[in-house]
Amino acid sequence: MSKEIIIELDRKKIAVLGIFVAILILSLSSYFFALLAFDAPSPDFPLKVNQVETLDDADNATKTVFNKGETVRINITVEKALRYVNFPFSYDYFDFSGDTTCRVIVSVMDNETSPLPIQNALVTISVGGIETVFFDYPILMSDRSGQYQVKVLLWTDWLPTGEALSSIAGEVTFGVN
């Protein structure tokens, strides 16, 4: 024997249900985005290179193979963490405060590890912020054909006084015909 359950919804109940669903969605989305946030491995490395990509300088479209005489635009995205975890001693999180000024250093090497001129820029990033930096490298007619490797370093300043602000360098490769 089954009894039929009837639920009547009036405007007031629908409004309360709507508010409850909205609060639930906001809570879950903020939790989800908090899980995706960058947590630094230590207070010494508050920054990370999110993305390094090569672009065509004419229209900023992603491009991985260039001809001699063209210009490679390198697009770099850098993020500062909101906090860091004191692992392996504990799982306690500590929040960063204040802006960080870093020197974004770009090194490009050809297939025989001969370097192109190093470029750099000073960037200030706030807590939880993301900054984008562009560098243009002209490919000369005298440059070698083959694969080129780009490395992006985040430092406080030049050596010997500079220190790394990211535990991992950003990397990308592109080809030259």
**What digits encode the pLDDT tens for the residues 8-59?**
888 998 999 999 999 999 888 877 766 666 778 888 899 999 999 999 988 9
- If asked whether residues 148 and 108 sit together in one domain, one would say yes
Share of the chain above pLDDT 70, in %: 94
- If asked whether residues 33 and 87 sit together in one domain, one would say no
* 2 domain-assigned: no
The structural domain count of the chain equals 2
Q: Which domain holds residue 13?
A: 9-37
Contacts of 162 (CB under 8 A, 6+ apart): 103, 155, 156
- If asked whether residues 87 and 144 sit together in one domain, one would say yes
Query: Across 25-99, where does the E strand assignment appear?
Result: 39-40, 47-56, 65-66, 71-80, 83-85, 93-95
Q: Are 39 and 83 in contact (CB under 8 A)?
A: yes
